[in-house]
Amino acid sequence: MTEVIPLARLMQGNEAVAEGALAAGARFFAGYPITPSTEIAEILAKKLPAVGGKFIQMEDEISSMAAVIGASLVGLKSLTATSGPGFSLKQENLGFAALAEIPCVVVNVQRYGPSTGIPTATAQGDIMQARWGTHGDHPMIVLCPASVQESFTLTIQAFNLSERFRTPVVLLSEEIIGHSRERVVLPDLSEIKIINRKKPPAGLDRYCPYQADADGVPPMANFGEGYRYHVTGLIHDESGGPTTDPKKAESLINRLNNKIMDHLDEITMTESLMTEDAEIIIFAYGATARSAKSAVKKAREMGIKAGLFRPLTIWPFPAKEVAALCARANAIIVPELNLGQLIGEVERVAGLDTRVTGINRVSGEMIRPDEILDAIKTEVKVKKHAK
């Protein structure tokens, strides 16, 4: 008799995001319809009220992001979901959340752009926008799922990191993941590790909302809990009040970025497949890594020492891990569904000693495993010539 796993289901990527959000404890969603992310809103419109949560379809993308920040400030774990054009519209308030240190999760199911592009075609075109879309120097954590299962687990992780570091986290999915259906095993809720925002102790004479602990993260009181304080998108001092003092401004921006960069061990998630002895490494993220995995296995069958390195956290960029790869490998191939976005970071880390080449596609189609395999074979030839 086959074993029945009660929590195994066939699920769509967007549905897994919605389930992950609920499992993480999200109780507020504000959004605006946009392909290919709409299912997340539709599912949460049904499921949130059933668990006492709140769903609201706002008048636009900008207000959705604003409402999410407002809801988080009074204590509900909150998210919004969108795609390219909507992600562009959310950028200003995303920056507000980063500066005011309001935890929240923004799901961007990437679609072909720029502009309206091809709404139903997949892409990885928002890699740099996810990092630098809002103006000014700001921290940003961006996670990239490669499967439906990972859409679930990384959504939970996105909430955890957001609460841990009081910062917005972007879950950067893709049309092909959001709309694919795969087998998913949902863990029991008791097995899921949940992180909640650090609270100040009760009964303080004076609560300083932006006075950080040693880890760079200030404890966060929710509005309505008794500590009255000011939140602003202006540069502020530890009391939350606006300031233009150069020293205070610099110290705030440095702290915001350092609270992330000082805790990469908690944030950086990567996966390596046969990279130990690999001479040629594929650096791939999201759905492209699925093709890459297949290509690497085929290459190994042919006796080529290929490996796959897959960042689940693409921002902050896993520079330390990539540097370690570069120390071992002769070549790194970076397939991306864009004209070369994250490859720039790989090149920066690789320097001149390791060859870095891209495979780029902007047709709205996936990069096939055989195309990556061809690129691997080319690298083998290059290596022979070099000898």
Residues engaged in binding other proteins (CB under 8 A): 27-28, 30, 46, 49-50, 52, 54, 56, 58-60, 62-64, 66-76, 78, 92-93, 96, 223-226, 228-234, 241-242
* Nearer to other proteins among residue 60 and residue 365 (C-beta): 60
Shortest reach from residue 208's CB to other proteins, in Å:
13
The arrangement of strands across the sheet holding 141-143 comes to 54-57, 26-31, 77-82, 104-110, 168-174, 141-143, 313-315
Q: Report in angstroms how near the CB of residue 201 gets to other proteins at its nearest.
A: 17
Nearer to other proteins, 54 or 198 (CB): 54
- In angstroms, give the least distance from the CB of 368 to other proteins: 43
Query: CB of residue 100 vs other proteins: minimum separation in angstroms?
Result: 8
Q: Rounded CA gap, 38 and 19, in Å? A: 14
114 vs 242 by CB, closer to other proteins? 242
Q: Taking the complex as a whole, how short is the minimal distance between the CB of residue 70 and other proteins, in angstroms? A: 3
Which residue number, 92 or 279, has a Cβ lying nearer to other proteins?
A: 92
- Nearest approach, Cβ of 241 to other proteins (angstroms)? 6
CB of 42 to other proteins, least distance (A): 14
- If the CB atoms of residues 118 and 229 are measured against other proteins, the closer one turns out to be 229
Q: How far is the CB of 107 from other proteins (least distance, A)?
A: 17
- Of 212 and 221, nearer to other proteins (C-beta) is 221
Q: Which is nearer to other proteins, 154 or 220 (CB)?
A: 220
| Distance separating the N- and C-terminal Cα atoms of the chain | 57
By the 8 A CB rule, do 237 and 248 touch?
yes
Burial track 200-214 (b if 16+ CB lie within 10 A, e otherwise): beeeeeebbbbebee
Token pair listed for 312: 């689940």
Which residues partner with 306 through β-bridges? 280
Specify which residues 307 forms β-bridges with.
281
Task: Decide whether 132 or 223 has the Cβ nearer to other proteins.
Answer: 223
Whether 186 and 180 have beta carbons less than 8 Å apart is answered as no
Distance CA 272, CA 275 (A): 6
* CA pair distance 109, 248, nearest whole angstrom: 37
303 SS3 class: coil
Half-sphere exposure of 87 (CA within 13 A, CB side): 34
Nearest to 83, CA basis, from 118, 48, 55:
118
Return d(Cα 382, Cα 189) in angstroms, integer. 50
Please give the Cα distance from 194 to 26 (Å, whole number).
11
